[in-house]
Structure 1
């Protein structure tokens, strides 16, 4: 028997709304970055640091609150711990953050994109509609992460716009994920 998060969900997935909240926060961050392209690069690094930190805490809470309901909850916990560590590093070293922000953003988005792809196939295995959108958004997130990693010296508006698009695609993925989890909760309750 498969040990995926979705095939093992015998009871309701609690706190599906946390993913929705994270998605909304990512989209707000992306829109803010689009609306203030000339804002200080320092502001972008601070905002990004705080969002990664909050995302880590939220994922840790989600994984711990669902550990008895889903197998593989440790992957959510690992992702949350990774986000929390990256958030703490970014917040505690603002000058270093400005210099290596594209690498942080790129690798963080790469992890998020691969997680999205894995979850989309798990959604497909239990016949959740619109799983293809999750796959598409995961692939799009990976494309943006590679663009950031391939051009870390590329400063100015292009890094701002790529970061904004990456936030928005990651946010849309989280919203689709939340509604997929909500659907699973209804089916198993």
Structure 2
């Protein structure tokens, strides 16, 4: 099992910069949402739709490019396909999306939180020292998703700020993950 995770890490590290790019995009989206709260709810559905769509394409590309070397590449592919489907649904139904945006965001963040927790334990098994921070950020992302899903009416009022915090949290996770993957890459080079 440890060898399987190690071989997955060796393959994934060649594309460490994708995680960094996604993390930077998450943080930019979070800061933008904080700065424009009134306009954000209306435009959040459009930006969120495109962002999830692009994230799905990136994850699908990463999983397909690593399928021969990464034994559990299917999980990355499943996450990318889920993001792609959600992105298409959001893009094609903007008015409906504004009404049910808290649920979309909540379930998407729920999946991202579980994925973050799983990745942190994979990095722990290969000896990455900052895996605990990644676990913490994954749990924090889960907390935001539960808050959105538990009270969608309240979430409709506060979704702008919760979404901004969730984007920033997920962005920090992705950036830390990218630098950890880069460190692992440097050990194998």
With the shorter chain as reference, the TM-score category is over 0.9
* Cα gap change, 1:10 to 1:154, in 2 (>3 Å): closer
Distance in 2 of aligned mates of 1:51 and 1:12? 22
Contact preservation (8 Å) 1:13, 1:66: no
In the TM superposition, 1:1-189 aligns within 5 A as 1-2=1-2, 4-6=4-6, 8-9=8-9, 13-154=13-154, 158-189=158-189
* Cα gap change, 1:44 to 1:12, in 2 (>3 Å): closer
After superposition, give the CA deviation of every residue in 1:91-133 in whole Å (9 maximum; x if it has no partner): 0000110111000000000000000001111111111111000
Distance in 2 of aligned mates of 1:94 and 1:169? 25
Distance in 2 of aligned mates of 1:114 and 1:39? 30
Q: Report which stretch shifted further, 60-69 or 87-96.
A: 60-69
TM-score relative to the length of structure 2: 0.93
Distance in 2 of aligned mates of 1:148 and 1:158? 9
State how many pairs are aligned: 189
Contact preservation (8 Å) 2:40, 2:160: no
Deviation of 1:2 (Å): 4.1
* Cα gap change, 1:11 to 1:145, in 2 (>3 Å): closer
TM-score relative to the length of structure 1: 0.93
Q: Report which stretch shifted further, 21-30 or 32-41.
A: 32-41
Contact preservation (8 Å) 1:12, 1:184: no
For the aligned residue pairs, the C-alpha RMSD in angstroms reads 1.7
Deviation of 1:69 (Å): 2.5
Q: Report which stretch shifted further, 147-156 or 35-44.
A: 147-156
Gaps of 5+ in 1: none
The residue matched to 1:39 in structure 2 has which SS? helix
Contact preservation (8 Å) 2:110, 2:141: yes
Deviation of 1:24 (Å): 0.4
Gaps of 5+ in 2: none
